[in-house]
């Protein structure tokens, strides 16, 4: 079994730096290759209005990791069942949206989504759903470049709801989380007292146990871009299932290939699989590695070929989202990990 401490000294040093320099209040991580694993859960779940030490097994707001952990595989299950095609026009399901985007464009962030919703944060759930379909459209950049946006996965979730009659979060619970027996580790509704705090916001107070993302907070179970919470153990179990068993057979080999190869309609390689961002490993064969980040301070890197990965969960937005030091640290850690992994 590989000696992870010997192989990843600089990665582990960077993880220690986060705690020593208090770049984020809480840190939970898992570094693994096959069965060899290093993990730690340390720091503070909350700093204000009172300090609460992090306890093992607490829930983190995954933010945009929701896109790849829950929403993307749920859509893939519909494709496998013949109820959806990645190359279906979005208008087949959401005719209110103008422009010729395909479903795959939504998941590769190449749909050229544009529009403006006045007073968005003042709308209730039904008003926001209506405004998203009325005010947004697919513009001149459709299938011409990559522009990361939550809206693509929100629309993808609404397509899944149109097909099944079930909101995307309920569908993901039934199609992905429950079959993996991870209901106690991955959830859209964590016990408030078991969740780490995120931002202290004037209009909302201390956000804890509910989505930090404002759209997800309003859209609730209709939101496919954010809203999922996870423990470190739950996300680690999910990662192993994805890499080793195609999510316990929930996904076909064809679907897995689509998660680890470029799926855009743009000419050439644009490093966007379905949901995931693609990177090249540092090894001689430059095989693909997938990664995704979450605004709250979460990210995950997975290498299917080498059966290894790095999961990092923090609440870097607590007590304020103005924490650029974390973003710099995350980018450096990511590069360090890829270099040491090879």
Confidence of residue 249 (pLDDT cuts 50, 70, 90): very high
Q: Average pLDDT for residues 266-290, to the nearest whole number? A: 94
pLDDT of residue 291: 98
| Alpha-carbon torsion (139, 213, 298, 253), positive or negative | negative
Residue-wise pLDDT tens digits, 204-248: 999 999 999 999 999 999 999 999 999 999 999 999 999 999 999
| Structure token digits, residue 290 | 């997938």
Among 49, 55, 11, smallest CA distance to 31 is for 11
What number of other Cβ atoms are within 10 A of residue 35's Cβ? 9
Domain at 99, CATH number = 3.40.710.10
pLDDT of residue 1: 86
pLDDT of residue 314: 98
What number of other Cβ atoms are within 10 A of residue 322's Cβ? 8
Q: How far apart are CA 171 and CA 133, in angstroms?
A: 21
Confidence of residue 269 (pLDDT cuts 50, 70, 90): confident
Q: Average pLDDT for residues 307-332, to the nearest whole number? A: 98
Q: Which domain holds residue 273?
A: 4-341
Q: Average pLDDT for residues 316-335, to the nearest whole number? A: 97
Confidence of residue 284 (pLDDT cuts 50, 70, 90): confident
Q: Apex CA 34: angle with CA 29 and CA 36, to 5°?
A: 60
CA atoms within 13 A on the CB side of 220: 7
User: Is 268's pLDDT higher than 90?
Assistant: no
Residue-wise pLDDT tens digits, 177-202: 999 999 999 999 999 999 999 999 99
Among 320, 336, 338, 318, smallest CA distance to 328 is for 336
pLDDT of residue 73: 98
Q: How far apart are CA 161 and CA 170, in angstroms?
A: 9
Q: What share of the chain in percent tops pLDDT 90?
A: 97
Residue-wise pLDDT tens digits, 55-85: 999 999 999 999 999 999 999 999 999 999 9
Q: How far apart are CA 284 and CA 267, in angstroms?
A: 25
At residue 187, φ and ψ (nearest 5 deg) are: -155, 150
pLDDT of residue 121: 86
Length of the chain: 342
Domain count for the chain, please give it.
1
Whose tokens are 């401490």? That residue is: 5
Q: Which residues contact 242 (CB under 8 A, 6 or more apart)?
A: 302, 304
């Amino acid at each position: 079994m590989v000696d992870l401490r010997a192989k990843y000294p600089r990665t582990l040093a960077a993880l220690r730096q986060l705690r020593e320099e208090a770049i984020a209040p809480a840190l939970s991580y898992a570094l693994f290759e096959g069965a060899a694993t290093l993990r730690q859960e340390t720091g503070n779940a909350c700093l204000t209005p009172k300090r609460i030490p992090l306890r093992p097994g607490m829930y983190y707001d995954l933010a945009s990791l929701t896109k790849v952990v829950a929403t993307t595989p749920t859509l893939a299950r519909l494709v496998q069942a013949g109820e959806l095609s990645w190359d279906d026009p979005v208008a087949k399901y959401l005719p209110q949206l103008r422009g010729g985007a395909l479903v795959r464009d939504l998941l590769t962030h190449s749909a050229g989504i544009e529009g403006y919703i006045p007073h968005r944060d003042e709308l209730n759930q039904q008003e926001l759903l209506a405004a998203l379909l009325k005010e947004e459209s697919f513009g001149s950049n459709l299938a011409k470049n990559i522009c990361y946006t939550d809206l693509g996965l929100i629309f993808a979730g609404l397509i899944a709801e149109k097909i099944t009659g079930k909101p995307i979060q309920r569908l993901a619970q039934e199609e992905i989380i429950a079959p993996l027996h991870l209901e106690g580790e991955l959830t859209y509704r964590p016990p408030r007292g078991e969740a780490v705090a995120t931002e202290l916001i004037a209009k909302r107070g201390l956000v804890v146990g509910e989505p930090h993302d404002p759209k997800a907070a309003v859209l609730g179970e209709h939101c496919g871009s954010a809203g999922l919470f996870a423990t470190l153990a739950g996300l680690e179990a999910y990662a192993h299932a994805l890499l080793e068993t195609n999510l316990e057979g929930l996904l076909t080999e064809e679907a897995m290939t689509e998660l680890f190869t470029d799926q855009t309609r743009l000419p050439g390689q644009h490093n966007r699989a379905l949901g995931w961002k693609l990177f090249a490993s540092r090894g001689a064969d430059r095989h693909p590695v997938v990664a995704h980040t979450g605004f709250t301070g979460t990210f995950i890197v997975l290498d299917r070929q080498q059966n290894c990965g790095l999961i990092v969960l923090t609440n870097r937005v607590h007590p304020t989202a103005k924490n650029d030091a974390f973003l710099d640290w995350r980018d450096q850690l990511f590069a360090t990990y890829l270099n040491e992994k090879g």
